[in-house]
Amino acid sequence: MAPKSVYVWHVLSCSASAEQDLTATARAWLQNSGEERIELKVSTFQKQTTVLGHCHRHDGCGLAFRFMFLKQENLQLLGLVQEGERFFIVECNKKDRKHDGQSKLEVEQSILKRKYSHLPTALAKKQMVTDKVPEAHIPTTRALDGSRHRYLKKRSKFCVDLVEMLKDFLNNPPEPVSVFESMNAAVSEDEVRFAFFEASNMQAATEYMAGSERIILISDCTYQTNHQRLVLGSLGLAVLHRDDHGKVRCRFWPVMFSVSEAEDESAYDLLCKAFIDKTGVNPGKVSNIFLDGHAGAFAAMQRQFPGACIHRDLQHVKKNIKDNAGKLQDTNLRTYITDVVEFSAKLSQPSEFHTVWKDTLGRLRNEWHEECGSKDRLV
Ligand SMILES: [Zn+2]
């Protein structure tokens, strides 16, 4: 089918943040382009997520946009590969004649009330006169008040008290806490991310690592440590420890801590950088890392410890099995595999692990296979 209109293509880079979604990218681009009254909706085009935008400023206006992120393989073709940068495509159909015509009054007013909501109402009105906004377009005081109220409510993610408290913590950390100084750290009403540690604990971990041939790290984050949903994160060592009953157990030795607004890549990045900087560890010596499987954590760890083998922790492996076994509707199989995973995770010798799994997989292939009579079940 022939396209209804001629589309113009733009390839543009957007914010380096991997978290930013396509709708936010589209909205930011439209705002910058002075196209403030475009209604967006998420759609799928050739199996790819796209965002469609249509003009609602003019009666019968046909101006439309389509946004999509550029795929990795196409980036390379275009020679656009740059660390930490994402590219998106905007398609825009040929400007509709009606788009240049007179716009609806209430639409203009609603655009203006949002555009000037960063100012108190009286100042906003004054500024609109200075900016030569036609008198009929200036919104009512009541409308401006409402917009201003929504703007103030939305603006900051964190309350002033919390920001003050965190800044105080950073400037005067309580004994024995030390704060990691970093360009990537931030505490404001919009952003929270910083790392801290205890110097003597750090010293002990550094000495332990110097005497170890290979280093195994664990990282995890906890929510709900406070009412503003900040995340407490930690990166430390997996060490063998003899408990009170003489039993040897594997334990987590937390070394570096972080507080951040989200469990995202930049938070994990700061955690890793702080750990490497303060312990002076050679990242190449880190052989294994255990994580809860968060994508941002995975990317940050891979970058900071390129030689390490990254694993999901046992809890999440079991959860994966449970989820997938649920799809098979085979509770016996689920229990059986979970048991073997749990048992084998605690084996200390690689040869034992190998034997258990060789035996288990062999048994699953033969017995279970025959019982089920299906080839696909245990692939
Ligand atoms: Zn239009």
What the block records as the tokens of 175 is 């004994």
Nearest CA to 332 out of 378, 294, 273, 279 is that of: 378
Phi, psi at 315, each rounded to 5°:
-55, -45
What is the reported pLDDT for 378?
Answer: 43
Centroid of ligand 1 to alpha carbon of 130 (angstroms)? 25
For the chain, domain boundaries: 7-100, 105-155, 160-304, 316-372
Q: How far is the CA of 68 from the centre of ligand 1 (A)?
A: 21
Distance from the alpha carbon of residue 111 to the mean position of ligand 1, in angstroms:
13
Nearest residue to 363 via CA among 339, 327, 328: 339
The first and second tokens of residue 207, run together, are 């000495």
Q: How far is the CA of 103 from the centre of ligand 1 (A)?
A: 8
Under a CB-based contact definition with an 8 Å cutoff, are residues 122 and 103 in contact?
no
Nearby residues of 315 by Cβ (< 8 Å), 6 or more positions away: 292
What one-character-per-residue DSSP string does 263-292 give? SSHHHHHHHHHHHHHHH---GGGEEEEEE-
How remote is the CA of residue 56 from the centroid of ligand 1, in Å? Answer: 6
The Å distance, Cα 303 to ligand 1 centre, comes to 45
Gap from CA of 59 to ligand 1 centroid (Å):
8
User: Is the sign of the CA dihedral 299, 305, 308, 313 positive or negative?
Assistant: negative
Ligand 1 mean position, distance from CA 272 (Å): 49
Distance CA 64, CA 344 (A): 57
- How far is it, in rounded angstroms, from Cα 48 to Cα 235? 36
Instruction: Quote the pLDDT of residue 85.
Output: 63
Query: Per residue of the chain (379 residues), what is the pLDDT tens digit?
Result: 434 556 677 777 765 454 457 888 888 888 888 787 788 888 887 788 888 998 878 877 888 888 888 777 676 666 666 655 677 788 887 666 677 777 788 888 888 998 898 889 999 999 999 999 989 899 999 999 999 888 877 767 788 888 899 999 999 999 999 999 988 888 988 889 999 999 999 999 999 999 988 899 999 888 767 667 788 999 999 998 888 888 888 889 999 999 998 888 889 999 999 999 999 999 999 999 998 767 788 889 999 999 898 887 777 777 777 777 767 667 777 788 888 888 888 787 888 889 999 988 888 887 665 555 544 444 3
Instruction: Name the token pair of 294.
Output: 């968060």
Q: How far is the CA of 297 from the centre of ligand 1 (A)?
A: 43
Distance (Å) from CA 105 to ligand 1 centroid: 13
Cα(116) to centroid of ligand 1, in Å? 21
Taking the centre of ligand 1 as the mean of its atom positions, its distance from the CA of residue 172, in whole angstroms, is 55
Distance 61 CA to ligand 1 centre (A): 5
For residue 5, the model assigns a pLDDT of 53
Q: What does pTM read for this prediction?
A: 0.53
The token pair that represents 378 in the structure block: 């245990």
Residue 191 half-sphere exposure toward CB, CA atoms < 13 A:
9
| CA quadruple 166, 171, 173, 179: dihedral sign | positive
